[in-house]
Amino acid sequence: MPNSTYQYYNQLFKNLQLPLAYCDVDLLDKNCQDIAHRAEGNKTIRIASKSVRCTAILKRILESNPIYKGLMCFTGREALFLAEQGFDDLLLGYPIVNRDEIYDICTATKNGKKIILMVDSNEHLKLIDAIAKEVGVVQPLCIDADMSTDFPGLHFGVLRSPITSVDAGKRLVDYFDNYENISLTALMGYEAQVAGLGENNPTNGIKNFVIPFLKKKSIADYTKRRQEIVAYIKSKNHPLDIVHAGGTGSIESSKQEDWVTEITVGSGFYSPALFDYYNDFKHQPAAGFAVQIVRKPKPDFYTCLGGGYIASGAIGADKQPKPYLPEGIVLTANEGTGEVQTPCEYKGSEKIGLGDTVLFRHSKAGELCERFNELHLIANGQIIDKVPTYRGQGKCFL
C-alpha cells in the first residue's frame, strides 16, 4: 500500500479545484477485507448505504468479498433509486409512512425486486397491508426490536422502536395474523450504544471509563431479548430468513449470537473520525476532503477556503471535521471550521504555504458525500477516477 503521507495527497490535489472530497481506494479495499475478517464465521454483511452515499463505492464494496450481501437503505425513495441503479436485496433500516413511497415500493416488490420495509407498530402493518392489497402483492416486512438497555437514571441506546420488551415483540408478531398482504420475513435489532459509541472519544471525558462496563451489561440484556423474539417468530411459522444485528462497532459481539444471520456495517468502510475511538478495532482513514490554504494571517497560522462540514447528532466538538494532514495541524478554538474560512495552526516540519492543501476527515461517514458532487478516487499514487456521490447524481434523500 502506498504511503498515505501529507505530500502523497498534497501533490495530487493542490493544482485541482478545491475543496474536493476523496476516497483512497487502497485504504477502502483494506477496510473491506479487514471488516470481512472481523465478521468471519457464518454471517453475511449488509452495507449501510447511509454511511457510503455513492453508488460506485457501494458496488466496489459488494464486489470486494462474497461476505457482502445486500444493502440497508435509509429511505424508500433511496431504495427505489438503488433498485433502478441495479442493486437488489434492499432492507429499509427505518420505517416510512408516506403513502406514495410505500405504494412505489410495493410496486417494485410486485415487479420482482427484493425490498423489505421496516415496521414497529400495528399502525405500520395496517398502513402497508392496505397499500399492498391495492397493488396486489404480499409485501415483506422487518420488525425493528429495540436493543437499548435502561440503567437506573440512564437510557443506554436510541429512542426509535417501541418494541422494548419480548412481550411487546410477541404482540406485534401476533398482529401479523390479521393481515393477508404482508409477511414477516426479517427481524432487526440495532444496538447503537455498542455499535456507534467508541470508548475513547476525548469529548466524553470521564464517561469513557464506564462505557465498556455499560456495553458489557447491555450486550447480555439485548442478546437474550433478540433470541426470545426470534424463537417466538419461528414458533409461529413466519418465513423469517433474516435476523439482523449490528453496526461497525459491534461486529464481534453480534457474531456471537447464533440466531443472527447478518450484520450491518457502514461507517467502517470510510472510517471517519468518530471511528478512531474504539478499543477493539482500527480501520484506515479512507475518505476525507482537501481544502486549500489561501492566506497566512501570522506565522504558523494558515487560513483555508471552506471546511465547515459539521456532522449531525448531539452538538459537540467531535462533530467538527478532524484535521488529518499534515500531521500536527490543529484548528483554532475561536473559529473551528468555517463556512468560508478555516484557520489552522501548524508548527510541523512540512513546508506549507499558499496553494497547498490541508486534509480533513469528516466526523461521520456518509454525510461527507452530501457536501460534494464527486469523490476523487486515489489508488497507487494517482487519481484513477472521479465518481458521483448521491448529491452528484442529483439525489438528496434526507
Ligand X SMILES: Cc1ncc(COP(=O)(O)O)c(C=O)c1O
CA distance to 76, 216, 302, per residue, from 82 (Å): 10, 36, 41
State how far the Cα of 80 lies from the Cα of 63, in Å rounded to an integer.
21
Parallel/antiparallel/unpaired status of strands 382-388 and 322-325: unpaired
Q: Which is nearer to ligand X, 92 or 291 (CB)?
A: 92
Smallest gap from Cβ 191 to ligand X, in A, equals 9
Return the closest-CA partner of residue 214 out of 148, 265, 127, 169.
148
Residue closer to ligand X by CB (options 179, 270) is 270
CB of 266 to ligand X, least distance (A): 3
Per the CB < 8 A criterion, the answer to whether 290 and 22 are in contact is: yes
Q: Which is nearer to ligand X, 92 or 387 (CB)?
A: 92
Q: Whole-number minimum distance, CB 43 to ligand X, in Å?
A: 14
Q: Determine the Cα–Cα distance for residues 278 and 105; give it in Å rounded to an integer.
A: 37
Q: Greatest CA span in the chain, whole angstroms?
A: 72
In the list 93, 95, 140, 323, the residue contacting ligand X (rule: CB under 6 A) is 93
3-state DSSP call for residue 383? strand
Nearest residue to 167 (alpha-carbon basis) of 115, 225, 110, 224:
225
Can you tell me which of 265, 273, 304, 344 binds ligand X, judged by CB under 6 A? 265
Could you tell me the three cell numbers for 135? 397493488
Instruction: By CB under 6 A, name the one of 70, 169, 266, 323 that touches ligand X.
Output: 266
Provide, rounded to whole angstroms, the least separation between the CB of residue 188 and ligand X.
7
Instruction: Tell the smallest beta-carbon distance from residue 161 to ligand X (Å).
Output: 10
Q: Residue 68 interacts with ligand X (CB under 6 A)?
A: no
Residue 262: CB minimum distance to ligand X, A: 11
DSSP string, 38-73: HHTTT-EEEEEGGGT--HHHHHHHHHH-TTEEEEEE
- Give the binding range for ligand X (CB under 6 A) out of 8-16, 100-108, 226-234, 261-269: 261-269
195 touching ligand X, by CB under 6 A: yes
Residue number, 140 or 247, with CB nearest to ligand X: 247
Q: Which of 109, 267, 271, 303 contacts ligand X by CB under 6 A? A: 267
Residue 248 binds ligand X (CB under 6 A): yes
Residues in touch with ligand X (CB under 6 A):
48, 51, 72, 93, 190, 195-196, 247-248, 264-268, 365
